Amino acid sequence: MGAGRQPVILKWAFALLLLLSSCSSPAPSIAWQEVTLPSAEAAVRDLAFCDNHWYAVGGLPTGPAAWTSNDGQTWTGVRLTPVSFYGKQSTIFTVACRGTDVIAVGAASGGAHGNPRTSTWRSRPDGSWLEYEPEFEQFGGQESVGVGAAAAGPAAGLTGWAIAGNWLGPDGSPGPALWRSTDGISFTRVLVAPASSARGTDVAFAAGRWIVVGEAYGATLSGASWTSVDGTRWTSVPVESPLALVTPDGDGALAVGAGGAWWYDGAGWQRRGGLAADARFLSLTAGDGLAVTTGGSTECRLWSTRDGGTTWRELTMPAPLPMTAETAASVAVGAGHVVLATDDGHRSHLWLTTAAPSSPLLRARSRPARAPLAPSIKGIWSWLDLFSTTVCP
């Protein structure tokens, strides 16, 4: 190695050392407060916030359950009216709201093969929720692959409500499906991309259209997404890496997956800042100018962003939560607060923290002070800044 090259390499090594040291700084501490649900046996599976009301859904040993709160601290049970045999045994696993209107989806295993028996729930003017039992083959049967998350459009009618899932197409191969409804009561199934060798994982209404995200199977696993203004006619929108979750955020949509974070602006996807490459994402939500996601590989972790996913901050979890097949975590943002539900497969916990401007959730990323640099190194700082916001959660 020539002697003239050693100072340049040493300078790059020094700059890389500074970068790695900034990545290793501990996550800022968050003041979490554990709050109590009416039952210690509650299993919480999803959260939502609309119109100054928090909603939590899940189950009890006796059947389905849902709770609501005006402040995130004091929770009361929602009066549920199940009408079917399986509805009385189900666990509610997803909830969506718009104003004071709420829909939810639950399921219980049953029948000769133990397949999920799915039904929907709809809020009523008196605050109670009524189960609507669909025909068996609406969500189940031999062509069913699975039913997933629910989402709300901005208004009743054309946009209404949607539930994401997967269904076998005419050729027998699975593909993403959407159940759409104008009233939250009657749902119509639409095949989003039949015979596509793809899987839908989540749905949201953003940028004036429905967005279904997922992954496509081929020689390698890649990303996939589709958009529709009316929920009936769908257009494929390319995205490089698989997407697990999507949420409305500002005037676009934010999605996370194995390749990190992506932003949809109504025309296409743009890669944003990176997250843990091996993370399995459990929840994603946005509100009050803040987006929060949970996930991980061996331990559940928490990240937040306030610039559409360009930069992320890792935040402290209220308690360690190992990632297993039974781990569940959900998060909701609203009214200057963040509510987090965690479940290790044995017990659920509900946590509350502030999202006020003074909170670490919203403060700008802090960086260690930099010593004066030689002119030849200064030129690489702009690249290092970009690299650090992408690599350091």
Least confident of 23-37, 165-179, 260-274, 297-311: 23-37
User: Which range, 158-162, 314-318, 388-392, has the best average confidence (pLDDT)?
Assistant: 314-318
Rounded to 10°, the helix 381-391/6-23 angle is 30
Query: 132: closest CA among 104, 162, 163?
Result: 104
DSSP H or E segment with residue 139:
helix 136-139
Band the pLDDT of 245: cuts 50, 70, 90: very high
For 16, phi then psi, to 5°, come to: -65, -35
Task: State the average pLDDT over residues 292-304.
Answer: 96
Band the pLDDT of 111: cuts 50, 70, 90: confident
DSSP string, 93-136: EEEEEETTEEEEEEEEEETTTTEEEEEEEEE-TTS-EEEEPPPH
Residue 193 vs residue 361, higher pLDDT: 193
Q: What is the per-residue pLDDT for 113?
A: 63
Q: What is the per-residue pLDDT for 275?
A: 84
**Is the pLDDT assigned to residue 7 strictly greater than 80?**
no
Band the pLDDT of 26: cuts 50, 70, 90: low
Q: How far apart are CA 74 and CA 72, in angstroms?
A: 6
**Is the pLDDT assigned to residue 325 strictly greater than 70?**
yes
At the fourth CATH level, which superfamily is domain 27-391? YVTN repeat-like/Quinoprotein amine dehydrogenase (2.130.10.10)
Q: What is the per-residue pLDDT for 274?
A: 78
Q: What is the per-residue pLDDT for 360?
A: 62
Lookup: tokens for 167: 């269904």
Q: How far apart are CA 22 and CA 325, in angstroms?
A: 32
**Is the pLDDT assigned to residue 391 strictly greater than 80?**
no
Q: How far apart are CA 162 and CA 230, in angstroms?
A: 11
Checking DSSP bridges between strand 129-132 and strand 80-81, what pairing results, if any?
parallel
Q: What is the per-residue pLDDT for 370?
A: 28
Chain centroid offset of residue 128 CA: 26
Q: What is the per-residue pLDDT for 341?
A: 98
**Is the pLDDT assigned to residue 5 strictly greater than 80?**
no
SS3 232: coil
Band the pLDDT of 126: cuts 50, 70, 90: very high
Average pLDDT value over all residues in the chain: 85
